[in-house]
Chain A
Amino acid sequence: MKKRTILVLFSIIALTLLFAQAKFAFITAKSDDKDKMLPGIDPSKVTGTIVTAGSSTVYPLSEAIASMFKKDGFTGLITIDSIGSGAGFDRFCKTGETDISNASVQIKQSQIDAARAIGRNPIEFRVGTDALAVVVSKKNTFIANATVQELAKIFSTAEKWSDVNPKWPAQPIKRFIPGTDSGTFSYFVEHVFNKKADPLLAAKNLQLSEDDNVLVRGIENDPYAIGFFGFAYYTENQKSLKALSIEGVAPGQTTVDNGTYPLARPLFLYSDVKIMNEKPQVAAFILYYLTYVNDVIKKVGYFPAPASALKQAKQNWLDAVKGRY
């Protein structure tokens, strides 16, 4: 085991030395970057595999970018596994199986430490903002707004809707929520339940799935069902779903921008300097991502990251690949 690790380390060092001086072939002079920070990119000049995994919330965004990346000439293979932010970090930080980790929650110190233990140093790229949507079916006529306190009751001890608000029907609440290791789950637990998952998981009529389409399916035709997930899945299913206002604020571009929507949260990619330099396709993909993300993010259903955060992400990319173009 140890011998193998040493061998792998040596080959990594050798490869780094070998590639240290080589310039990235995919860099072009003409850039579409609106901040004028990043160089241009030609995806047809790189190939190879890019392995990404993590948040199901980031998934539709990464998928959209990946398909553009391929359309623009990338001939390699990109895998995007939608397994939840936590599981994504496990694969990135502990087993080192992935090149990029998608996350809808910021990386924890314990995860950074785990990554360092296997020789990885996570770099953060903020790519957008999600407004976590609390949704009910269009057939639900009695609720349009909920306070955070009401949410805490709806998703825990209340058995019937009338237990939360006597004006609501005496029907059992059916709950559809993301699985326990997804960033959406932890975010909700953190903001609605003060970081304690117990009340949420002890609730009756609870369905958990990493696949947000399973949740949509459970909610769309049942007036007494409720759930939450990334805003994109709401946008995609607007015909059958209704997003609740939280504390009187509806999720949307303006309320996310001015910070009034209580459940807005950042979306991230994580990678590592070594990976980006050893696998130029990874650096190319992130460069492409940062250059074009704002062109598609609204169509996917999320909101652009604050300008300063996106600039910081671009600066992180430039620092990571210093001397390579």
Chain B
Amino acid sequence: MSTESTASKQCSSLLLRKYTMKQTNAVDPELCKRIHPVNRTIETILAATGIITIGVTIAIVFILGEESINFFKHVSLSQFLTTFEWQPHIEKFGIWPLLNATITTSMSGMLVALPIGFFSAVFLAEYASNAIKRKIKPVLEILAGIPTVVFGYFALNFITPFLQLVFGKAVSVYNTASAGIAIGILLVPLVASLIEEALSAVPRHLREAAYAVGATKLEVTLGIVVPSALSGIIATILLALSRAFGETMIVAIAAGAGPAFTLNPFKSAETMTGHMARIAGGDLPYDSIDYQSLFAIALFLFFITFFLNLLGRSISKRYMEHYE
């Protein structure tokens, strides 16, 4: 950026100079006055949109926090975090069955999405010709455009019967594995396109240097390009993970409708989001402890995804490669 602006400084029109002057903080009062009013308006609008997003986030955290405080007046944090039964109607508030189901569905989703997404990204970025790329990318985009409710019924009506065919009676009608696999399919386009971007961003001269010393295509891809794009790949994984944690419709339809603490992915269990959707959609007596418990779950989920995002940022910063 800075090299560009020094270059343009030397041979620029008045307009261009105005911008470069502003960037280098050299204030020329005469030029400042002449800024077109439209520019100001647009600047204000842009700033306002930014403030709106921040404002909405703050409002959500505030509302979640407010109701959660009411909830934690009745239920101790230790009960919430260390007991293993969730049944608000009879005052059992242990988050683990819900958290465990969320982890199960997300992890099975990641098990599906990561390999498929990663290898298709490698293929698209390194191996595919432009003609093939042009054909495959729209298909991935179609997959990304399918509503999650469709994935939910796909899990219930196709994946579950398939699992039952393969693994027999051990698979319940509603089970976390089928929901997880559907989440995985949902995440493939996201993972593939983000990793592909990361791989494509690796500068060409790194590849050429490797070829020059006699590396094969596979060696270049796995030994040079993938490690160089590691920060982007890790960021993608964490982004996909927080998306999987938050996925609601698929698990509400296919994973089950009762909190259950089980490590068996073929059994029914309800995730945090699925539980919120079911309780909020149906039996919601206002300002009861059941109602407040939903906010506590939501806040807990918010902290998890927030933590994942922070982790993603710090990791990707740490592994970030600077090329210029």
Task: Tell me how far the C-beta of A226 lies from the nearest C-beta in chain B, rounded to whole angstroms.
Answer: 13
Residue total for A at the interface (Cβ-Cβ under 8 A): 29
User: How far apart are the CA atoms of A100 and B174 in the complex, in Å?
Assistant: 34
Task: List the B residue with the shortest CB-CB distance to A206.
Answer: B258
**CB within 8 Å of B: which A38-87 residues:** 83-84, 86-87
Q: A87-B285, A179-B279 are in contact. List 20 more A-B contacts (CB 8 A).
A: A83-B284, A94-B286, A95-B286, A174-B172, A179-B278, A179-B282, A181-B282, A181-B285, A201-B89, A201-B92, A202-B90, A205-B258, A205-B260, A205-B268, A207-B256, A207-B257, A208-B257, A208-B258, A210-B283, A218-B173
Asked whether B87 is an interface residue with its Cβ less than 8 Å from the other chain, the reply is yes
Give 7 A-B contacts (CB < 8 Å), ordered by A residue. A86-B283, A86-B285, A90-B286, A180-B290, A181-B282, A198-B90, A207-B257
Most chain B Cβ neighbours within 10 Å, of A83, A207, A222: A207
CA separation between A221 and B174, bound complex, in Å?
12
A152 to B207, CA, bound (A): 70
Bound Cα distance from A202 to B90, whole angstroms: 9
A23 beta carbon closer than 8 Å to chain B = no
Set B85, B90, B281, B285: member contacting A210, Cβ < 8 A: B281
Closest partner residue, chain B, to A177 (CB atom): B258
Within 8 A of B (CB), among A179-238: 179-182, 197-198, 201-202, 204-211, 214, 217-218, 221-222
Asked if residues B257 and A209 are in contact (CB atoms below 8 Å), the reply is yes
Q: Which residue of chain B has the shortest Cβ distance to A222 in the bound complex?
A: B173
Closest to A95 in B: B286
Q: How far is the CA of A141 from the CA of B173 in the complex (A)?
A: 19
Inter-chain contacts of A86 with B (CB < 8 A) = 283, 285
Residues of A within 8 A of B257 (CB): 207-209, 214
Q: Which chain A residues border B256 with CB–CB below 8 Å?
A: 207
Chain A residue at minimum C-beta to C-beta distance from B283: A181
Interfacial residues, chain A to chain B (CB-CB below 8 A) = 83-84, 86-87, 90, 94-95, 174, 179-182, 197-198, 201-202, 204-211, 214, 217-218, 221-222
Q: Which residues of chain B from 76 to 105 have a CB within 8 Å of any chain A CB?
A: 85, 87-90, 92
Chain B residues with Cβ under 8 A from A87's Cβ?
A: 282-285
With a cutoff of 8 Å between Cβ atoms, the chain A residues found around residue B283 in the complex are: 83-84, 86-87, 179-182, 210
Point out which of B172, B173, B267, B268 has the most chain A C-beta atoms below 10 A from its C-beta: B173
The CA-CA distance from A222 to B168 in the complex, in Å, is: 12
Give bound CA distance, A207 to B253, whole Å.
12
Distance A73 CA – B37 CA, assembled complex (angstroms): 58
- A-contact bits for B152-172, CB 8 A (1 contact / 0 none): 000010000000000000001
Among B172, B174, B260, B284, which residue has its beta carbon within 8 angstroms of that of A181?
A: B284
Taken together as a complex, chains A and B put the C-alpha atoms of A27 and B89 apart, in Å, by 46
Tell me the complex Cα distance, A164–B172, Å.
22
Q: Which residues of B contact A217 (CB under 8 A)?
A: 156, 173
A263 to B262, CA, bound (A): 33
Contact B286 A202 (CB under 8 A): no
B154 to chain A, nearest CB (A): 15
Name the interface residues of B281-303: CB closer than 8 Å to any CB of A: 281-286, 290
Report which residue of B85, B88, B283 has the largest number of chain A beta carbons within 10 angstroms of its beta carbon.
B283
Docked-complex contact A90 and B285, CB < 8 angstroms:
yes
A202 to B278, CA, bound (A): 19
Complex contacts, B92 vs chain A, CB 8 Å: 201
Q: What is the 8 Å Cβ interface bit string for chain B, positions 221-257, against chain A (1 contact, 0 not)? A: 0000000000000000000000000000000000011
Please name all residues of chain A whose beta carbon is closer than 8 Å to the beta carbon of B290 when the two chains form the complex.
Answer: 180
Question: Closest Cβ of chain A: how far from B160's Cβ, in Å?
Answer: 10
**How far is the CB of B267 from the nearest CB of chain A, in Å?**
8
The residue from B87, B172, B268 contacting A202, defined by CB atoms under 8 A apart: B87
Shortest distance from the beta carbon of A286 to any chain B beta carbon, whole Å: 25
